Structures are given as structure tokens and as C-alpha cells.
Amino acid sequence: MSEAITPSDFPVAESGLRPPASVVTETGWVRVLLIAVAIAFLALFLVLPLVTVFVQAFAKGLDAYLAAFKEPDAHAAIKLTLITAAIAVPFNVVFGVAAAWAIAKFQFWGRDLLVTLIDLPFSVSPVVSGLIYVLVFGSQGLIGPWLIEHDIQIIFAVPGIVLATIFVTFPFVARQLIPLMQEQGTVEEEAALTLGASGWHAFRTVTLPNIRWGLLYAVLLCNARAMGEFGAVSVVSGHIRGLTNTLPLHVEILYNEYNFVASFAVASLLAGLALVTLVIKSLLEWRYADDIAAGARRH
């Protein structure tokens, strides 16, 4: 019977020397240096601006901070932002789920092209996203004259803001769900159908539970962008105070009026939303990594 080799068989351990350092990582000081560079860079470029928002918002004390929210214009902006997100997010959820169902559960000609087209809004500048709606619905636009004739206002009004928001958040749900549903395949749905479930029943009891964390993840990101969108909304809004100002636009107006405390106070609301989004997003990634995205990301 062969003797088990023990660490004491090695001269290194006997002589009390440290075992050799791992060959698959850098030496200690290089590691420390790289970590320091990374943290310093992130602190300067990302964390500092975030902290600044809150520091500036409370620069003149709590009363000045709260005063920013007592204005009727601020109330109107909050309301419009909530309304916009309440329309845009569900719209994109329905679209994203339908698109993912068609693309992930079936093999058909032109599927890759369709995915590319759905992704298109992400590669268009926010300002251009606003511009294209002005070109369709504006007074000089494609159907502008017809809209004026029928007294329907879309540009410089709430519908335009909602449309522009839908455009910039369009790919979020679909691009999250398509790879996830492709990975999950169709076996479970086929089993449900074989057992007599209707298509809708199979979707509700089999597919939906399978994609719920991925869907929640996508809704979270979609909502953050919907409430925070600036460029596209700015082009179609017309900046009418109390009527077509969302929270980001209200921030801009206050800032340009040199009303910095109020501007940063309103901005802190949006920064708070961003922080909550990041926290929930990270929690979802840590707990449900396998259920959010195809080929789960390691953390």
C-alpha cells in the first residue's frame, strides 16, 4: 500500500518557507496598484458626481431643499414623469414579451434581422429619437397638417413625450427576454400543451414563471430610463412649464435659472431613483443570476 504524500514530504514546508505564490495572478504590489487605480478612477468619475448631487441639494439646509418640492411646477413634473413611465413601461412589456415569444419560441426566416431592428433605438442619439417624431407629427411633419386640421396635438404635448419615451426604452424588455427564452427552449410549453393546456394557460403558468425575474430586471432598467430620459423628451416637449415638463426637464430649467438648490433637490429625487434601481438590480443579479439572463453572469 502506497503511503499518502503529506506536505511534510516537501522541503519547502519543512524549511518553513512560504509556499510559492500562485502563477496565475500578479505579484502583490501590482495587484494593489491596479485595484487602487480602478477604485480611484471610479470614485472620481462615478461616485463623486453622485455625491455632489446630494451635497448641492442640501447646501442651503433642509428647508431650502423641501421648498423645491412645494412648487406646483415640481408637482406637475413629478406627475407627468409618473404618467409617462406608467404608459411607456407596460407598453414595452407587452411588446417585449410578444416579440420574445415570436423570436425565441419559433424558427423563422429573417429572425436575426428582426432582432437587429428591435435594437435600433439603442444606437440612435436621443436627440435624433426626438427629431424623428417631430418629422412625423410636427406642424411641418408628414401628418402634421392633418393633425392640425383635426385639432390633435402630439408634439409639444404629452403624447409626444410618451412616444419619445417608448422609443428610447423600446429594446429593453425584448433584448433581455429573447436570449433567456431561447435558452429555456420550448420543451416545458410543449409538455403543458400535450397535457391539454391552452396556449394562454401554458404561457401564464409555464412561461411567465420561468421569465419573471428576467422580466422584473428588464422592467427595472426600462423604468429608470423612462423616468430619466432627457434628450429625446427635450426635443418633443416644448418646455411648457407645468404642462410638458418631466422631472429631468424641470431640473434643466431650474439650473438654467441659476436656482441651483432647487435644481439639485429635484435631481436628488432622480438620483435616489437611480440608487434604488442599482440596489434592486444588484440584488436580482446576486440571487437570481441564472433566471435573469442566458449564460448567467459570474459575480
Binding window for other proteins (CB under 8 A); candidates: 38-46, 70-78, 146-154, 210-218: 38-46
Q: Whole-number minimum distance, CB 291 to other proteins, in Å? A: 17
Q: Whole-number minimum distance, CB 120 to other proteins, in Å? A: 6
8 vs 140, which CB is nearer to other proteins?
A: 140
CB of 76 closer than 8 Å to CB of 245: yes
Of 255-274, binders to other proteins (CB under 8 A) are 255, 260, 263-264, 267, 270-271, 274
Question: What is the rounded end-to-end Cα distance, in angstroms, of the chain?
Answer: 44
Q: Whole-number minimum distance, CB 3 to other proteins, in Å? A: 26
Contact track, other proteins, 71-100, x by CB under 8 A: ------------------------x--xx-
3-state secondary structure of 191: helix
Could you say whether residue 15 binds other proteins (CB under 8 A)? no
C-alpha 37, offset from chain centre: 27
Could you say whether residue 105 binds other proteins (CB under 8 A)? yes
Could you say whether residue 299 binds other proteins (CB under 8 A)? yes
Candidates 183, 190, 257, 290; binder of other proteins (CB under 8 A) is: 190
Binding window for other proteins (CB under 8 A); candidates: 5-13, 68-76, 146-154, 243-251: 243-251
Cα 267 to Cα 178: distance, rounded to the nearest angstrom: 34
Place of cell 416644448: 238
Of 117-176, binders to other proteins (CB under 8 A) are 117-118, 120-121, 123-128, 131-136, 138, 140-142, 163, 166-167, 170
Binding residues with other proteins: total (CB under 8 A): 97
101 vs 213, which CB is nearer to other proteins?
A: 101
**SS3 assignment for 210-279:** HHHHHHHHHHHHHHHHHHHCCHHHHHHHCCCCCCCCCHHHHHHHHHHCCCHHHHHHHHHHHHHHHHHHHH
13 vs 47, which CB is nearer to other proteins?
A: 47
CB of 211 closer than 8 Å to CB of 177: yes
Could you say whether residue 56 binds other proteins (CB under 8 A)? yes
Cα 194 to Cα 13: distance, rounded to the nearest angstrom: 64
Could you say whether residue 234 binds other proteins (CB under 8 A)? yes
Residue 228, amino acid? G
Phi/psi region, residue 246 (left: phi>0; alpha: psi -120 to 50; beta: rest), is beta
Q: Virtual CA dihedral for 163, 165, 166, 169, nearest 10 degrees?
A: 160
Could you say whether residue 64 binds other proteins (CB under 8 A)? no
Candidates 161, 175, 214, 228; binder of other proteins (CB under 8 A) is: 228
